Amino acid sequence: MIIAAHIFAASCQESFLYNCFLPLAKEQPANHFLLFVDKHFYTPDNLPVNIERVDIKPSLKNGLTLHYWYNFKLPSLLKKYEVTHFISESNVLSLRTTIRQFLLIRSMSFLLRKPVVMQEHARYLKRYFAKFLQKAAGVWITEKFLGESLLSKYPAIKEKITYTGHGLNEVFQPIDWEQKEKFLETFSSGTEYFIAECSPVTQANIFSLLKAFSLFKQRQKSAMQLVLLVREIELENCVKDFHLYKYREDVKIISYTNDTSYATMLCASYAAVYLPLQVVTENTGLNALASGIPLITLENTAALSIYGDAALYAGFSEKLIAESMMLLYKDEVLRKKLIEKGLHISYGYNWLTSATKIWQAIKVG
C-alpha cells in the first residue's frame, strides 16, 4: 500500500499523523508512506526509508487555498504517487477523487457559534464538513466525547467512526522527590505552588483563579505560590491591573518557551489548575496527569470523558475553585489517589497504540 497524509499541524510534535506514521513505517516496512507538508514544515533528516516527504504549494492559509489544493492539486498528486489511501488531519477531504480517504478529527471547535480561537478556515469547514463526512471511508476521533458530539449532529456516520486515541509528549513524566526539592529551591525558594496556563482558552477565567487563590491564601495562611504560564498571548495581557493584586508577590507570571522547560515546572508543582472557557482537545490536563500531579478543572462532558475520576472538578466560580484548592491542600490521601489514577489514565495515551488502531482501520476501510 501507498498511504499519504496531509500534515496540517505547525510542527512534528503537534501532528497526530506524523507521530503515528513513524511507528507505522517501522512496523510495516513493505508499505510506503507519504507526508504532504508545507515547504516550511520541519522534518528530521533521519526519517525511516519508507517515509517520503512531499512539499506542497500554495501554502494553505485559508478556506480558498484549502479548497483549491484539495480539489485541484491533491487528485493529481494522489495519481502521480499511486496512492491507495489518503488521510487528512485538516478536517478537509477532496471531493474530486475516488481514492479512499480518511478524516482525522482532533477538534470540532470550528462548529461552535463563538469559538475562543477562531480558525481562518472555520467558515469553509462549516459549509463543507457534512460533505467531507459523507465522502470519508472512515472518520477517526482522538477523544471519545468527539464521537458523541459527531453522532448528535451526523448520526448517519456511526459505522464510519473509529476511536484512535493519541499520544503525549514524553517530556511530561513524574520526577522523584529529590529532583523536585532541588528544583523548588532554585525556582521558588523551596515553596510549593499551583500552576495554571494563561492561554486563549483560559485567559477569561484567570481573574477568577486569582480571586480563588486569594481566598485560599486568606483561609489557609499558607506560603503556597501560583505560577501562571503564558502561551500564545502577550505577557502583559495575561492579567489586567496585576499590579493591584494583593498577593502578587506570591504569583509568578512566566512566558512559555518550550515543552521541556514547561514539563520541569509542571512535574514539580503541587497541582495544576486548568480552566478552559470552552471544550477543547489540547493536552494541558493530560500533561498534568502524565507528570504525576493532581488536576483541578471545570466539570463538563469533555473533562469527564477524558479524566474520569482522576481529576478534582470545580464549579464555575472563584469560591468553588478555591474550595477545590483547599480540599487538595488539606487531604494528602486524596491527592495521592488522584495522582495514581491520573498516571493510570495517561499510560493509555501512546503513539504506538494509536498507530496500531489506524492501521487496522485502514485495512478494514
Architecture of domain 177-346: 3-Layer(aba) Sandwich (3.40)
Which pLDDT value is given to residue 113? 63
Cβ neighbourhood burial of 39 (10 Å; 0-12, 13-18, 19+) = exposed
32-36, 110-114, 194-198, 305-309: the lowest-pLDDT one: 110-114
239-265: pLDDT as tens digits: 888 989 999 999 999 999 999 999 999
Domain 2-167+350-364 has CATH 3.90.1640.10: no
Per-state percent for the chain, helix, strand, coil, to nearest 5: 45, 15, 35
In the chain, domain spans: 2-167+350-364, 177-346
Q: What is the largest CA-CA distance in the chain?
A: 69
User: Closest by alpha carbon to 210, among 255, 240, 254?
Assistant: 240
Give the residue carrying C-alpha cell 489540547.
282
User: What is the distance in angstroms between the CA of the first residue and the CA of the last residue of the chain?
Assistant: 13
Give the H/E segment covering residue 197: strand 193-198
With beta carbons less than 8 A apart as the criterion, state whether 17 and 104 touch: yes
* Residues 6 or more apart whose Cβ sits within 8 Å of residue 236: none
Which pLDDT value is given to residue 136? 98
Q: How far is CA 62 from CA 67, 122, 282, 289, 359, in A?
A: 9, 9, 22, 35, 30
Instruction: Tell me the pTM.
Output: 0.93
Quick check: 118 pLDDT over 90?
Answer: no
Q: What is the 3-state secondary structure (H, E, C) of 228-297?
A: EEECCCCHHHCCCCHHHCCCHHHEEEEECCCHHHHHHHHHCCCEEEECCCCCCCCCHHHHHHHCCCCEEE
- Looking at 29-179, which runs of residues are DSSP E strands? 32-38, 51-56, 85-88, 100-105, 138-141, 161-163
Which SS3 state, helix, strand or coil, does residue 219 take? helix
Decide which of 364 and 356 is more confident.
Answer: 356
Cα-Cα-Cα-Cα dihedral of 160, 97, 16, 66, to 10°? Answer: -120
Quick check: 54 pLDDT over 60?
Answer: yes
Q: At residue 195, what are phi and psi to the nearest 5 degrees?
A: -130, 140
Does 294 sit behind a cis peptide bond, omega within 30 degrees of 0 on the bond before it? no
163-189: pLDDT as tens digits: 999 999 999 999 999 999 999 999 999
Give the H/E segment covering residue 313: strand 312-314
Sign of CA dihedral 146, 361, 121, 131: negative
Which pLDDT value is given to residue 67? 95
The mean pLDDT value for 313-335 works out to: 95
Which pLDDT value is given to residue 114? 63
Q: What is the mean pLDDT of the chain?
A: 94
The mean pLDDT value for 30-50 works out to: 94
Which pLDDT value is given to residue 19? 96
The mean pLDDT value for 27-46 works out to: 94
Q: How far is CA 355 from CA 146, 184, 188, 351, in A?
A: 19, 38, 40, 6
Single-letter amino acid code for the residue at 215: L
CA distance 34 to 19: 13
